[in-house]
């Protein structure tokens, strides 16, 4: 008998996860936000997604598709929130009134969004539920049409952080029925600081900005765009990320090693791992600079890390430069539209107080 699970979202990874879990015999309810109901219009009637790629393939029926949060949260106590980071708040507001202490919600990936989700949900008077996040999407995948998705590869290690950390063992056990490669972190902060997209995407896209605009993304981002020079900037950002982690007591894995551990490519520097990756070298660049590789990974990734660094006296000059330049390119305030210690519910906390909060969920 499969597990009942509700997948929140209607984009690339949400489609791929919903289809794959259904292929594996689980009962899946897909909830899309009412403002984006058009993403599930074509599959609402027959509830069918066709999966292509290297894992299970062919059409498969989902158990339920809805835009009603009450229906979706009643369907299962396990919720997988699979949307860009800037959609975490809208989904928290949508689902918050229907959350109960029995729910476990997992952000895939989170970028520290689990901490903000808990803060937002508490405004609805709900407490006692568990929130968690993973450090990357479980698959390298794309939505190929309104009714289909392709999976090019599966990560070999899916890092998990749980808030409160005391629930890590139980949440990991639940998720392993869906994803066998769960690897727990100490807590959600270590998990969020271990996300690799913000390390690679802002530097890579901004240093290829002219080429993205001219070609409309018609080049292979990782194979062609991440040259040795671009890789040097990525690794400089990564050193600053590791410094923020070190200030909080974590020994974060360097980006090249993290890509290798996830199964993306051979062991080596970030350039060597990427250029030896069968999965990553097949991915093209975003079609424009109005891409979540900037609009998500700057305000909800590197800018958030910089703000954490500021609270704990860690300088991040390369990261800050990319946020400033990215803000000009995006024509949006990369510092103001994302999240920082206030949104994460930890503003002004000492390291000791932060450790207690991450472990227990109580400030």
For residues 160 and 210, state if they share a domain: no
289-316, pLDDT tens digit by residue? Answer: 999 999 999 999 999 999 999 999 999 9
Residues 52 and 133 in one domain: yes
CA separation (Å) from 142 to 30, 74, 82, 196?
17, 29, 13, 18
**Same structural domain for residues 119 and 260?**
no
Within a domain: residue 334? Answer: yes
Same-domain pairing of 146 and 86: yes
Report the pLDDT averaged over residues 4-22.
97
In a domain, 329, yes or no: yes
Q: How do residues 224-233 score in pLDDT, each as one tens digit?
A: 999 999 999 9
100-113 burial, b for 16+ CB within 10 Å, e for fewer? eeebbbbbbbbbbb
pLDDT, greater one: 277 or 134: 134
Q: Give the mean pLDDT of the chain.
A: 95
* Same-domain check for residues 45 and 62: yes
Sign of CA dihedral 1, 52, 134, 252: positive
pTM: 0.93
Both 202 and 297 in a single domain? yes
Report whether 343 contacts 88 (CB < 8 A): no
Last residue of a domain, one of 175, 192, 209: 192
Q: Is the pLDDT of residue 50 over 70?
A: yes
For residue 77, the model assigns a pLDDT of: 97
Q: How far apart are CA 279 and CA 264, in angstroms?
A: 6
Pair (149, 206) in one structural domain: no
Tens of pLDDT, residue by residue over 93-151, are 999 999 999 999 999 999 999 999 998 888 888 878 899 999 999 998 999 999 999 99
- Number of structural domains (the chain) is 2
Extract the tokens encoding 334: 């990369």
Q: Which residue has the higher pLDDT, 239 or 45?
A: 239
Q: Which of 134, 157, 192 is the last residue of a domain?
A: 192
266 has pLDDT over 90: no
186 and 47 within one domain:
yes
The pLDDT confidence band at residue 81, using thresholds 50, 70 and 90, is: very high
pLDDT tier at 335, thresholds 50, 70, 90: very high
- Torsions phi, psi for 281 (to 5 deg): -70, -5
In a domain, 291, yes or no: yes
pLDDT tens track for 149-174? 999 989 888 999 999 999 999 999 99
Domain annotation covers residue 363: no
Which domain CATH number covers 159?
Answer: 3.40.50.720
57 and 176 fall within a common domain: yes
Q: What is the CATH number of the domain that holds 323?
A: 1.10.1040.10
Could you report how far apart the first and last alpha carbons of the chain are, in Å?
39
Q: Are residues 183 and 201 in the same domain?
A: no
Q: Pick from 257, 337, 296: which is nearest to 13 by CA?
A: 296
Same domain, 164 and 266: no
In a domain, 347, yes or no: yes
Domain shared by 20 and 153, yes or no: yes
| Tokens matching residue 343 | 């949104």
Q: Give the end of a domain, one of 192, 222, 251.
A: 192
| Structural domain that includes position 60 | 4-192
In a domain, 14, yes or no: yes
Question: In this predicted structure, what is the pLDDT of residue 324?
Answer: 98
Residue 79 covered by a domain = yes
Share of the chain above pLDDT 90, in %: 86
- Can you spell out the DSSP letters for 90-124? HHHHHHGGG--TT-EEEESS-TTHHHHHHHHHGGG
Look up residue 356 and give its two tokens: 């207690």
Q: Is the pLDDT of residue 204 over 90?
A: yes
Name the residue with higher pLDDT: 274 or 285: 285
Residue 237 lies in a domain: yes
Q: Residues 67-72: what's their mean pLDDT? A: 97
Residue 1's pLDDT is: 64
């Amino acid at each position: 008998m499969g597990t009942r699970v509700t997948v929140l979202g209607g984009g690339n990874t949400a489609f791929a996860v919903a289809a794959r879990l259904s292929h594996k015999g689980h009962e899946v309810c897909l909830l899309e936000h009412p403002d984006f109901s058009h993403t599930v219009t074509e599959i609402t009637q027959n509830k069918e997604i066709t999966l292509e790629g290297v894992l299970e393939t062919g059409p498969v029926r989902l158990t339920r598709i809805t835009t009603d949060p009450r229906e979706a949260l009643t369907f299962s106590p396990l919720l997988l929130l699979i949307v860009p980071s800037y959609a975490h708040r809208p989904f928290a507001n949508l689902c918050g009134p229907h959350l109960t202490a029995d729910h476990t919600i997992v952000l895939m990936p989170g970028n520290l969004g689990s901490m903000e989700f808990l803060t937002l949900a508490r405004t609805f008077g709900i407490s006692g539920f568990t929130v968690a996040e993973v450090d990357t999407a479980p698959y390298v995948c794309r939505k190929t049409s309104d009714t289909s998705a392709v999976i090019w590869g599966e990560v070999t290690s899916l890092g998990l952080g749980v808030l409160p950390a005391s629930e890590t063992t139980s949440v990991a056990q639940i998720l392993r029925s869906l994803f066998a490669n769960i690897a727990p972190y100490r807590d959600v902060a270590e998990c969020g600081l271990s996300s690799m997209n913000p390390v690679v995407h802002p530097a890579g896209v901004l240093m290829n900005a002219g080429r993205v605009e001219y070609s409309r993304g018609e080049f292979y981002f990782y194979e062609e765009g991440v040259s040795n020079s671009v890789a040097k900037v990525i690794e400089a950002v990564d050193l600053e990320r590791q410094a923020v982690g070190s200030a909080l007591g974590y020994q974060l894995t360097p980006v090249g090693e993290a890509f290798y551990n996830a199964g993306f490519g051979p062991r080596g520097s970030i350039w060597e791992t990427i250029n030896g990756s069968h999965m990553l070298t097949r991915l093209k660049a975003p079609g424009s600079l109005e891409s979540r590789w900037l609009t998500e990974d700057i305000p909800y990734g590197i800018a958030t890390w910089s703000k954490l660094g500021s609270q704990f006296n860690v300088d991040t000059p390369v990261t800050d430069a990319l946020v400033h330049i990215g803000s000009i390119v995006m024509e949006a305030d990369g510092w103001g539209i994302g999240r920082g210690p206030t949104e994460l519910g930890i503003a002004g906390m000492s390291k000791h107080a932060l450790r207690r909060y991450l472990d227990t969920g109580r400030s």
